[in-house]
Structure 1
């Protein structure tokens, strides 16, 4: 599907994203993954005009973010999308943040929900949006599930 060419998002590490440790701040990783959700919405057709006209959007319900390597000033970041699962209202997505050489820097697994903005309640995806999601799901069904998907946080005890 032409609108879902990976990487979904390309950006570079901004100077105001650098923290006192000399690398990208943890909140900046979250910001970049949030921008990837915005790009996903645009790719599905849920852009600013659509949100205004139909009072429909996608909200993030849950995020699991794992930091794998440090990102540094001006480093190029590529965000790759994998749609793990979906239904009539929800998207279970997995984003991978890579550097220009393809090294994994971070991952973010997210549950997203279609929302009627007028009522503030969950609502099914409009038919044109659902059609694009169906196509994306079909296109990505051959991909294996990332080993980190479904990961739980906790201290391992021996």
Structure 2
């Protein structure tokens, strides 16, 4: 099986209950879209819903940095991409983009995820079969350029006099 590089979801719609009093997608639901977009990638790496149920191993999010670039509205359709930037024996670093189906960028997300043994719960190494899939995805994504928005820090840039 060839790993898509990057992984891009089928188009998804914006749900009516996700629209806030400002008339656009509430900030929390960008994270819902990112989460749904990462499901396909985790499944390809062997860590889908059955992984948690059958093996009692899963992925927890440790850190997320979201940049809201352009508003989304109820009538919009979007795709979500997933690029695996880095990994070690217990962690994944990924970058995602939400794009309108017309191609414009709506939001970006960079995440650090932990592999967790649910019996603890505690952070645990990936089993060999899953690590092989993680390494295969990382190899497939290694040829992609580092996203410009990856590794950003939050801060206020001040003009110097």
Question: Which bin holds the TM-score, normalised by the shorter protein?
Answer: over 0.9
CA distance in 2, matches of 1:138, 1:101: 29
Q: Deviations over 1:7-55 (max 9, x none)?
A: 1353111111111111111011011112223332222222222212211
2:26 corresponds to which residue? 25
Return closer, same or farther for 1:147/1:3 CA change in 2, 3 Å cut-off: closer
Q: Is the partner of 2:115 in helix, strand or coil?
A: strand
2:98 corresponds to which residue? 97
Does the 8 A contact of 1:4 with 1:43 survive in 2? Answer: no
CA distance in 2, matches of 1:10, 1:120: 34
- Structure 2: gaps spanning 5 or more residues: none
CA distance in 2, matches of 1:9, 1:61: 26
Does the 8 A contact of 2:11 with 2:101 survive in 1? Answer: no
- Structure 1: gaps spanning 5 or more residues: none
Q: Is the partner of 2:11 in helix, strand or coil?
A: strand
Q: Is the partner of 2:20 in helix, strand or coil?
A: coil
CA distance in 1, matches of 2:34, 2:48: 17
Q: Deviations over 1:111-150 (max 9, x none)?
A: 0110000011111111111111111111111111111111
Give the total of aligned pairs: 158
1:123 corresponds to which residue? 124
CA distance in 1, matches of 2:151, 2:87: 15
| Correspondence 1:42 to 2:59 | no
TM-score, with structure 2 as normaliser: 0.91
Return closer, same or farther for 1:27/1:113 CA change in 2, 3 Å cut-off: same
Q: Deviation at 1:66?
A: 0.4
2:62 corresponds to which residue? 61
Does the 8 A contact of 1:8 with 1:40 survive in 2? Answer: no
Does the 8 A contact of 2:4 with 2:140 survive in 1? Answer: no
